[in-house]
Amino acid sequence: MLTYMRIAALAAMMPFMIPAEARADKADDTMRVAFGEEILNLDYNNTTKREYIILSDLIDEGLFDYDPETNTYIPSVATGYEYLDPLTIEVKLRDGVIFHDGTGLTAEDVAYTYNWVISEESESAAKGTIERWLDKAVAVDDKTIRFHMLEEYPLAVRDMANRIQIRKAGTYDNDPNAAATSLVGLGPYRVESFEPGKEVVLKAFDGYFAESPKQPVSIGTIVIRSLPDTGTQQAELFSGGIDWMFKVSRDVAESMGAAPNIDHVVSTDLRIGFLVLDAFGHTDPEGPLTNVLVRRAMNHAINRDEIAEFLMGGGAQAVHTACHPAQFGCDQSVAEYDYDPEKAKALLAEAGYPEGFDLELWSYRDKAVAEVVLAKLQAVGINVSLRHGKLASLNEARANRQIQAYFGTWGSGGTPDTAAIARVHFSADTDRNMSNNPKVTDLVLAAEVTGDQEKRKALYSEALSIIADEAYWVPMFSYAQNFLVNSELEFPTYADGLPRLYRANWK
């Protein structure tokens, strides 16, 4: 109620709150955006969060890029690639690509970046992505790099596109955080100024290469402001202090979107929400969650359609698989559990729990969803207590095998491939794997080391079928992205949900 009252009050005051100079964004060609997260590091090679991906898209380039319209990986600063043999990829660079300081890009820069990321001294957040398949990168000449792999890995180009941003040779020699506050990138925007935790000012880079898949870039200046308080973001949007905000709750987005100077833009998203159950019995070898009938009962207890429609809205949908339906390999023919509370009760009774059992459910985000899940499970007789807190606390408890069940989400880094969610949750070396079925692990890993796409589909299909049949998860829904945008701003959206601010332009 307070949220609605605050929005209504702001809306009523809005005509008196917007001075002419604050509405001049289109005239001065400056787009001001708000991030709820503080930007403390410019270097995406050392960060992970969605905000840093958005920033990196503006200031960085990798060898390849992802095209959300064709669902393919396309050349960026590279012109293409060729497999010389199953363990060697040769990549050619474009002519005329320059860093923001005017230095020309060479193969030495590319080889340096990749070799540094996998080096012993590196603590790069990107290290885990490529060290499992990359042995070394070698500059053959100024425009040619060869990647020597440790094993056959058909997703190498995907990893190059999604994770590794090119740095000048020598960047990290004396300081692994050298690019954290002063970054020389290759992207469509250069860093004009940076106040960590407060503001990043970006200017369109005059020397940006014309062949980039990000072209044409329209807006001259982008200012990214760190505004952790969502109420402050809302007030700034009403007053003209910002032009764009994201991660907006559905109720706020719909209310504020009714204002004449604000558009509510909705996008689908690759992020899904799910429950992970301690099927293996880490917390209790004889516990109720080790019984497949109990796990199936929990699946029947959840109304996925209701959550997707009324809590998520927009492009959200019910999900029945341990992956997003739009991802390659996410077979939708696996077992589905319809919403059937009576069947859930019957399964619990058959499993030996006619009066239910005690369950501690952990969560760290979207508390409203966790509370709905709690209510649905309680309705079939399970005595659920919700432990909602910080992600760090959940991660620590999971690592110590102290969690019976948790509500988790995964966005796959915007990658439309089941590999981006399956390995992270079902490999043998992750504590996210709470079922520990070695056959599932083998299938998931086998799918990553074959170049035969039909075989990959078959492997993922078998793994996902086991996960569904055994009810290791309770898959629930996909997310929708709600954006609030200055009505004078054209902001296109894409199926993967990643905001591409370089595509924005003034109407």
pLDDT, tens digit, 9 for 90 and up, residues 491-501: 999 988 899 99
24 falls in which pLDDT band (50, 70, 90)? very low
CATH number for the domain harbouring residue 433: 3.10.105.10
Do 172 and 286 share a structural domain?
Answer: no
DSSP character for 417? B
Do 207 and 88 share a structural domain?
Answer: no
DSSP character for 238? H
The pLDDT score that the predictor gives to residue 17 is: 46
CATH number for the domain harbouring residue 498: 3.40.190.10
The pLDDT score that the predictor gives to residue 1 is: 39
Note down the domain range covering 495.
2-41+188-267+483-506
2 falls in which pLDDT band (50, 70, 90)? very low
Whether the per-residue pLDDT at 18 is higher than 80: the answer is no
Do 295 and 427 share a structural domain?
Answer: yes
The pLDDT score that the predictor gives to residue 4 is: 43
The pLDDT score that the predictor gives to residue 476 is: 99
Q: Which residues pair with 505 in a beta bridge?
A: 490
Do 283 and 254 share a structural domain?
Answer: no
The pLDDT score that the predictor gives to residue 209 is: 98
Do 140 and 70 share a structural domain?
Answer: yes
The pLDDT score that the predictor gives to residue 11 is: 46
pLDDT in tens, 452-469: 889 999 999 999 999 999
Rounded-to-integer distance, Cα 293 and Cα 457, Å: 28
> Crossing angle of helices 453-469/438-447, nearest 10°?
160
The pLDDT score that the predictor gives to residue 48 is: 84
Distances (CA, A) of 478 to 35, 277, 324, 381, 461: 22, 19, 7, 27, 19
The pLDDT score that the predictor gives to residue 263 is: 97
Rounded-to-integer distance, Cα 420 and Cα 270, Å: 11
The pLDDT score that the predictor gives to residue 25 is: 65
Average pLDDT over residues 82-106: 98
pLDDT in tens, 417-455: 999 999 999 999 999 999 999 999 999 999 988 888 899
Q: How many residues does the chain have?
A: 507
> Crossing angle of helices 453-469/419-426, nearest 10°?
50
Q: Beta strand 358-363 with 405-410: parallel, antiparallel or unpaired?
A: parallel
Average pLDDT over residues 18-31: 66
Do 195 and 103 share a structural domain?
Answer: no
| Token pair listed for 148 | 């020597």
Mean pLDDT, rounded, of the chain: 93
- More confident of the two residues 26 and 62: 62
CB atoms within 10 A of CB 49: 14
CB atoms within 10 A of CB 204: 17
pLDDT in tens, 160-197: 998 999 999 999 999 999 999 999 999 999 999 999 99
Average pLDDT over residues 98-116: 99
pLDDT in tens, 121-152: 999 999 989 999 999 999 999 999 999 999 98
Do 491 and 472 share a structural domain?
Answer: no
CATH number for the domain harbouring residue 93: 3.90.76.10
pLDDT in tens, 230-260: 999 999 999 999 999 999 988 899 999 999 9
pLDDT in tens, 302-343: 999 999 999 998 889 999 999 999 999 999 999 999 999 999
The pLDDT score that the predictor gives to residue 14 is: 47
Last residue within a domain, chosen from 126, 152, 187: 187
290 falls in which pLDDT band (50, 70, 90)? very high
- pTM for this prediction: 0.84
Edge to edge, the sheet with strand 405-410 lists 189-195, 199-204, 221-226, 30-35, 244-245, 473-486, 262-277, 405-410, 358-363, 383-388
Q: Beta strand 88-93 with 144-149: parallel, antiparallel or unpaired?
A: antiparallel
Last residue within a domain, chosen from 141, 163, 187: 187
The pLDDT score that the predictor gives to residue 495 is: 85
pLDDT in tens, 355-394: 999 999 999 999 999 999 999 999 999 999 999 999 999 9
State what percent of residues in the chain have pLDDT above 70: 95
Whether the per-residue pLDDT at 12 is higher than 80: the answer is no
Do 298 and 263 share a structural domain?
Answer: no
Spacing of C-alpha 472 from chain mean position: 22
What total number of domains does the chain contain?
3
pLDDT in tens, 66-85: 998 888 899 999 999 999 99
Give the DSSP H/E element, type plus range, for residue 148. Answer: strand 144-149
Residue with tokens 């899940």: 373
Rounded-to-integer distance, Cα 287 and Cα 485, Å: 49
Q: Check if the beta carbon of residue 276 is closer than 8 Å to that of residue 405.
A: yes
The pLDDT score that the predictor gives to residue 416 is: 87
The pLDDT score that the predictor gives to residue 23 is: 46
Residue with tokens 């969502």: 230
Nearest Cα to Cα of residue 33 among 202, 190, 179: 202
Do 236 and 220 share a structural domain?
Answer: yes
Do 114 and 61 share a structural domain?
Answer: yes
Q: Beta strand 88-93 with 78-85: parallel, antiparallel or unpaired?
A: antiparallel
Whether the per-residue pLDDT at 20 is higher than 50: the answer is no
Q: Give residue 203's identity as a one-letter amino acid code.
A: K
Last residue within a domain, chosen from 187, 203, 228: 187
Whether the per-residue pLDDT at 19 is higher than 80: the answer is no
Do 183 and 78 share a structural domain?
Answer: yes
414 falls in which pLDDT band (50, 70, 90)? confident
Do 444 and 488 share a structural domain?
Answer: no
DSSP character for 291? S
Q: Give residue 290's identity as a one-letter amino acid code.
A: T
